[in-house]
Chains A and B, each alone.
Chain A
Amino acid sequence: MAITRENVEYIANLARLDPKGEGFDKIAEDMQGIVAMVDQLQELDLGDITDVIDTDRKNAMREDVPVPSYDRETILANAPSVECGGVSVPRVVE
């Protein structure tokens, strides 16, 4: 399945990456070869195996016990923009 430039831009939009960003043309070009490489999988006949569920592995659940969490200040210390005790983003409601 060859991947068109239009398709690459559609995927970039889904991934919230900028198809007009610096160096993206090279990335779009590289995608051709990378998709061709993963396409080799199509020739593999898996016979009966269609199931993707691991039956031999299980999540190890723990007791749901409340424990202290981090204080607001500690978590916000890494935020790029903070206002009134929360992260701030551009206005999204008109």
Chain B
Amino acid sequence: MELYQKTAAELSAMLNNKEVSAVELTKAAFARTAQVEDKVGAYITLTEEQALADAAAIDAKRAAGEALSPLAGIPVSVKDNICTKGVKTTCASKMLENFLPPYNATVTDKLHAAGLIMTGKTNLDEFAMGSSCENSALQKTRNPHNLDHVTGGSSGGAAASVAAGEVSIAVGSDTGGSIRQPASFCGVVGMKPTYGTVSRYGLIAFASSLDQIGPFGRCVQDAAMLADVLMGHDKMDSTSVPREYENLTAAINPDIRGMKIGLPKEYFGEGISQEVSKAVLAAAETYKQLGAEVVEISLPLSKYALPIYYILSSAEASSNLARFDGVKYGYRARDFDGLVDLYVKSRSEGFGPEVQRRIMLGTYVLSSGYYDAYYKKARAAQRAIRADYARAFEQIDVILTPVAPTTAYKIGEKTSDPLQMYMGDICTVSVNIAGLPALVQPCGYDSAKLPIGMQLIGPRFGEQKLINAGVAFEQASGLSNIVAL
């Protein structure tokens, strides 16, 4: 087995036993990247020189007998909407194509403090707005399982980098499914943690009340190990939750006998492909055999999740993206007539069509005469969705659902119809609306050999339950550590 095929947990053990060095691992990661990157296109920026220097520093610390964290010396890719000091952070937008952040995001600092080796910055839909990675203004990313198909999005580069073995773990962000749906399409594991458990400081804001950074891996344990690095209170983010963060990896217990798993009937009906439904229901059967109790539940407001999500996220986006005006940083138009024209031209030339659509929708739902009917109503409906989940979690431990209505579709298939693209988010957005944690992992393949993912949703701060249920399924199904290409 080659190094690139190993999980982060396996690599961690090899580093500890001095079977391999961080420099060797980093060289292997870049060698694998050189082999597949022109097909996959996961990265916008590679940081090989810095990575090798960081790896040498970790090796020196290990040789000196310093206590290191479990992931010290392991290469990781970072989504390009997370600020990295002195390393371009583009959001895959012409607007920020040359932006060099003057500071690190808190998670960037945390990765560094834990000794992880950043390999580069991965592609995304522009400003994380999209579900296929095709909205990137800078780069095309292809699904390692079939290069004619999309990776999903918006964290498509992150998912592809892990699926193709360029790295074993990656950091992404999830506003309405942007970690979970690409994880599903690329046959890897992704987790969207509870809102407020990972600092958003330095994550370029899309929708601040929904955005959450989270881990990717090829097995549930790797995602848990990276989550342990990322999670924690941060005084630089006023929505960061001050609480005790228990180590998820140390507490992994795959004995799920007696666990109550809910199957919401609204997630298995119209609009969900039969192959996807069948695979997720088969996973429910596996859980029964493992001693869990599976019950049907109802989340009656699910059908309204999509309008609620697109109103709230676009409203916040229109406000957050107002800062890009061609003045302080980012793209400035060449020709303009006065200050207002400078704003208008810089924004119209700097933002791609999807970003402009979201800004338009957000401005509309916040505008005078429409605010009550759209934004205010969506905020009230958000409370109702939270109440829906709270009622469900009174009788069950976790909820099992599909991740997306279909497996990865062909590149270009949905780009002309944004609405059709939005419909693909139906299974993931309510988790962000309610601020809950959710774990995605592979549960099978469709007839075209493309991966099918399943989603486990937990109560607030219920990550441990998700991890335990995820590991249990992985052990029973053998669907773990799938490297494509």
Residues of A within 8 A of B370 (CB): 1
Residues of A within 8 A of B327 (CB): 79-80, 87, 89
Asked if residues A50 and B422 are in contact (CB atoms below 8 Å), the reply is no
Does A84 reach chain B (CB closer than 8 Å)?
no
Rounded to whole Å, the gap between the CB of A90 and the closest CB of chain B is: 5
Does A2 reach chain B (CB closer than 8 Å)?
no
Most A CB atoms within 10 A — which of B322, B344, B422? B344
Q: How far is the CA of A24 from the CA of B418 in the complex (A)?
A: 14
Rounded to whole Å, the gap between the CB of A92 and the closest CB of chain B is: 5
Residues of B within 8 A of A87 (CB): 327-328
Partner of B374, one of A22, A41, A57, A89: A41
Q: What per-residue 1/0 map shows which CB atoms of A22-62 lie under 8 Å from chain B? A: 11101100110111011111101010011110100101111
Asked if residues B360 and A8 are in contact (CB atoms below 8 Å), the reply is yes
Does B242 reach chain A (CB closer than 8 Å)?
yes
Asked if residues A41 and B381 are in contact (CB atoms below 8 Å), the reply is yes
Q: Nearest residue in B to A36 (C-beta to C-beta)?
A: B419
Asked if residues A1 and B328 are in contact (CB atoms below 8 Å), the reply is no
Residues of A within 8 A of B347 (CB): 15-18
Tell me the B341-366 residues at the A interface (CB within 8 Å): 342-345, 347-349, 351, 353, 356-357, 359-365
Tell me the B108-129 residues at the A interface (CB within 8 Å): none
Residues of B within 8 A of A31 (CB): 357, 360-361, 364
Rounded to whole Å, the gap between the CB of B400 and the closest CB of chain A is: 26
Asked if residues B102 and A21 are in contact (CB atoms below 8 Å), the reply is no
Asked if residues B363 and A40 are in contact (CB atoms below 8 Å), the reply is no
How many residues in B have their beta carbons less than 8 Å from beta carbons of A?
67
Residues of A within 8 A of B362 (CB): 15
Q: Nearest residue in A to B359 (C-beta to C-beta)?
A: A15
Q: How far is the CA of A76 from the CA of B349 in the complex (A)?
A: 22
Rounded to whole Å, the gap between the CB of B385 and the closest CB of chain A is: 11
Asked if residues A78 and B99 are in contact (CB atoms below 8 Å), the reply is yes
Q: What per-residue 1/0 map shows which CB atoms of B238-266 lie under 8 Å from chain A? A: 11111000000000000000000000000
Asked if residues A27 and B304 are in contact (CB atoms below 8 Å), the reply is no
Q: Nearest residue in A to B387 (C-beta to C-beta)?
A: A49
Q: A11-B364, A14-B367, A27-B353 are in contact. Are A34 and B339 (CB under 8 A)?
A: no
Asked if residues A60 and B353 are in contact (CB atoms below 8 Å), the reply is no
Q: A16-B343, A37-B310 are in contact. Are A60 and B100 (CB under 8 A)?
A: no
Q: How far is the CA of A55 from the CA of B201 in the complex (A)?
A: 24
Rounded to whole Å, the gap between the CB of B149 and the closest CB of chain A is: 24
Q: A34-B418, A41-B311, A80-B329 are in contact. Are A51 and B380 (CB under 8 A)?
A: yes
Asked if residues B419 and A23 are in contact (CB atoms below 8 Å), the reply is no
Q: A34-B418, A79-B328 are in contact. Are A16 and B344 (CB under 8 A)?
A: yes
Q: Nearest residue in B to A61 (C-beta to C-beta)?
A: B238
Q: Nearest residue in B to A14 (C-beta to C-beta)?
A: B363
Tell me the A72-94 residues at the B interface (CB within 8 Å): 74-75, 77-81, 87, 89-90, 92
Q: Nearest residue in A to B237 (C-beta to C-beta)?
A: A60
Residues of A within 8 A of B338 (CB): 90, 92
Does B155 reach chain A (CB closer than 8 Å)?
no
Asked if residues A46 and B361 are in contact (CB atoms below 8 Å), the reply is no
Q: Nearest residue in B to A50 (C-beta to C-beta)?
A: B380
Residues of A within 8 A of B379 (CB): 52
Asked if residues A16 and B373 are in contact (CB atoms below 8 Å), the reply is no
Asked if residues B330 and A78 are in contact (CB atoms below 8 Å), the reply is yes
The 28 sampled A-B contact pairs (Cβ below 8 Å) are A7-B364, A11-B364, A15-B360, A15-B362, A16-B344, A17-B351, A17-B356, A17-B359, A22-B348, A24-B348, A24-B356, A30-B418, A34-B361, A34-B418, A38-B311, A38-B361, A39-B307, A41-B377, A44-B301, A59-B239, A60-B241, A62-B235, A78-B328, A78-B330, A79-B327, A81-B332, A87-B327, A90-B336
- Which residues of A are interface residues toward B (Cβ below 8 A)? 1, 3, 7-8, 11-12, 14-18, 21-24, 26-27, 30-31, 33-35, 37-42, 44, 46, 49-52, 54, 57, 59-62, 70, 74-75, 77-81, 87, 89-90, 92
Known: A18-B347, A54-B383. 7 other contacts (CB 8 A): A37-B419, A38-B361, A40-B307, A46-B384, A60-B241, A62-B235, A78-B100
